[in-house]
A and B are shown apart, each in its own frame.
Chain A
Amino acid sequence: MDLMPFWLSLRLAFTTTLVLLLLGTPLAWWIARTRSAARPLVEALVTLPLVLPPTVLGFYLLLLLGPRGPLAPLLQFLDLRLVFSFTGLVIGSVIFSAPFVVNPLKDAFEAIPRGQLETAATLGAGPFDRFRSVVLPLAASGFVTAAVLGFAHTLGEFGVVLMIGGNIPGETQVLSIAIYDRVEQLDYRAAQLYSLVLVAFSFAVLVALHWSRRSRGPVRT
């Protein structure tokens, strides 16, 4: 069996989750703490991929990043080809999986009482110190949930990947696309194997998530 689609899916999910945690943490923090009037707008934008058909999202990304898109001159200047490439897949996945990472983080941040942070400030902790010593530990389960959901959701995506990445073996043919591809070729055995791997993996990840939520961390001093 060709394991390439499997590794490609894992690589995509890892990269996407990492990028989303890096970008999503400040964004979720801003949403959770801001009193700005722009908050509903930003929240709606982040949640939009949840309700849109992935093909719509993929289609717009294709237009935006494609050779005749508005970004084409810039991309050409930078000698970047984003459509039908792994980088393009990561961009699409980051947008598509954003709500699955940003929302759990936002919920976790909102659950931290303002008084905890104010108390930390009166005890001499600056903004980054407060984030590291109070927010991170108190929102730890939110980070786990965000990472797992972002990862699992990226593993299972199809529409966006197909639109923006196409079906290039070794470059953009991730597991979900490979399944579709094998079915098209009436290779049901391979399709079944890939599907089984995906189901087993996703199930194992979710079991791990719920198990980690049930057990609590040890006392730290």
Chain B
Amino acid sequence: MSGLAVRVSLERADFALAATFELGARGVTTLSGPSGSGKTTLLRCIAGLERPREGAIAWGGETWCDTVRGVEVPTHLRAIGYVTQEAHLFPHLSVQGNLDYGAKRAGSRAGAADAGRLASDLGITSLLGRRAEHLSGGERQRVAIGRALLARPRLLLLDEPVSALDEAGTAEVLDTLERVLASLPIPCLYVSHDLREAARLADRMIWLESGRIAADGPALQVMSDPRLPFAQAEDAGSVIDGRVESVDLRLGLARVACDGGGLWIAAGPTALPGRPVRVCIRARDVSLALCRPEKISVLNVLEGRVLDVAEARDVPSQALVRVEAGGCLLLSRVTRKSVAELGLVPGLPVWALVKSAAIVR
């Protein structure tokens, strides 16, 4: 098996961590949860910077940590890439020196690292001769990501890489990450508490609560699960992967084909025919009807079935209804009065009216 297998339990002053999961050979898995749920500690255990009281961590057939057999491979032999909130660039080295640091030590290990291409993907080609301290926060973080990848890691660990940045820096680094992670031939474990971030990047999501894994599954499912805080957030929604079919520049609209049929969405600069896109539909932009409505302004009407109904924790008068529409999961925020009057129960055929949708990736 090529991938990561983690089973970790440990106690800290403010929480106890007990988590078991595996990571496949590639793809981005986000690790989210309230602060103090043990996300960073879990990542540090995988990196070998902290030791679990009990557990085992293995990469493929290679044991990194096994508390029963007393195995603990030191961090520098694990071949991981690790980027934290702080870029931790070496202040005594130039940007080029920082990038070379890991590359030099990686030797001939195989991995994803074409220095020139990576530098241009990260947009740091013009920074190479500069000193780390003269970079902006976003630039620093992009160099840190490049440095980690040039060390030819077998696993990339990102611990809230944008949470210390301002809005411009966050946008800049997220754009870069999206580009770089999409073609990454290794798995990536990404700690994030931000919904937008996770929605953009995740293939799979793990939700950690009080040190335990409360949910784990494909991003599209976990995001719309009304039991989880993702769906409960005020601006929460569902995420649908599709492909741009056509673009009508005159109307400013793009037609996106997805499992549930087709969606008309506002055509942004990233909407190019044939391009795979991820569309976010906010729960409050989805209305429900029991029969196909006609002569209305809403462009997107999808046929589906109610999957489940849950209360909205923040607004007592509202409910979250999950609708399955031809393989897509839509989250709809409606009043509890409507739930009662329409008799919305699991299995009921409904029409979902999507007022607007946005491309997030």
Please determine whether chains A and B interact with each other in the same assembly. Answer: yes
Contact check, A115 vs B93: say whether CB atoms are below 8 A apart: no
- Residue A221 CB within 8 A of the other chain: yes
Smallest Cβ-Cβ distance to A133: which chain B residue: B101
Contacts of A48 in B (CB 8 A): none
Contact check, A221 vs B100: say whether CB atoms are below 8 A apart: yes
How many angstroms between the C-alpha atoms of A83 and B129 in the bound complex?
57
Given A118-B49, A220-B97, residue A126 in contact with residue B81 (CB < 8 A)? no
- Residue B47 CB within 8 A of the other chain: yes
Select one of B48, B91, B93, B102 contacting A124, CB under 8 A.
B102
Contacts of A115 in B (CB 8 A): 84, 86, 88
Given A121-B74, A134-B90, A138-B91, residue A219 in contact with residue B131 (CB < 8 A)? yes
1/0 per residue, CB under 8 A from A, across B23-54: the answer is: 00000000000000000000000011100000
- Residue B80 CB within 8 A of the other chain: yes
How many angstroms between the C-alpha atoms of A133 and B105 in the bound complex?
12
Contacts of B101 in A (CB 8 A): 120, 123, 125, 133
Contact check, A122 vs B82: say whether CB atoms are below 8 A apart: yes
How many angstroms between the C-alpha atoms of A137 and B91 in the bound complex?
9
Contacts of A121 in B (CB 8 A): 48-49, 74-76
Select one of A113, A123, A138 contacting B92, CB under 8 A.
A138
Contact check, B76 vs A124: say whether CB atoms are below 8 A apart: yes
User: Do most interface residues of chain A lie in helix, strand or loop, or is the interface mixed?
Assistant: helix
Contact check, B93 vs A122: say whether CB atoms are below 8 A apart: no
Select one of B75, B91, B94, B96 contacting A122, CB under 8 A.
B75
- Residue B148 CB within 8 A of the other chain: yes
Contact check, B49 vs A219: say whether CB atoms are below 8 A apart: no
Smallest Cβ-Cβ distance to B107: which chain A residue: A124
Smallest Cβ-Cβ distance to A124: which chain B residue: B105
Select one of B76, B86, B94, B105 contacting A220, CB under 8 A.
B94
Contacts of A137 in B (CB 8 A): 92
Output the least CB separation between A134 and chain B (Å).
6
Given A115-B86, A219-B131, residue A123 in contact with residue B94 (CB < 8 A)? no
- Residue B147 CB within 8 A of the other chain: yes
- Residue B339 CB within 8 A of the other chain: no
Contacts of A134 in B (CB 8 A): 90
Output the least CB separation between A194 and chain B (Å).
41
Residues 105 to 121 of chain A near chain B (Cβ within 8 Å): 113, 115-116, 118-121
- Residue B8 CB within 8 A of the other chain: no
Output the least CB separation between A81 and chain B (Å).
46
- Residue A187 CB within 8 A of the other chain: no
How many angstroms between the C-alpha atoms of A123 and B150 in the bound complex?
9
Contact check, B76 vs A125: say whether CB atoms are below 8 A apart: yes
Output the least CB separation between B99 and chain A (Å).
10
1/0 per residue, CB under 8 A from A, across B120-150: the answer is: 0000000001010000000000000001100
Contact check, B88 vs A113: say whether CB atoms are below 8 A apart: yes
- Residue B106 CB within 8 A of the other chain: yes
Contacts of B48 in A (CB 8 A): 121
How many angstroms between the C-alpha atoms of A208 and B249 in the bound complex?
70
What are 23 A-B contacts with C-beta separation under 8 Å? A115-B88, A116-B90, A118-B47, A118-B49, A118-B75, A119-B84, A120-B101, A121-B76, A122-B47, A122-B75, A122-B80, A122-B81, A122-B151, A123-B76, A124-B105, A124-B106, A125-B76, A125-B105, A130-B76, A134-B90, A219-B131, A221-B94, A221-B96
Closest 9 CB pairs of A and B: A124-B105, A123-B102, A122-B82, A121-B75, A137-B92, A119-B88, A221-B97, A115-B88, A121-B76
Chain A residues within 8 Å of B, Cβ to Cβ? 113, 115-116, 118-126, 129-130, 133-134, 137-138, 217, 219-221
Can you name 8 extra interface pairs (CB under 8 A) apart from A124-B105, A129-B76, A137-B92?
A115-B86, A116-B88, A118-B47, A121-B75, A123-B101, A138-B92, A219-B131, A220-B93
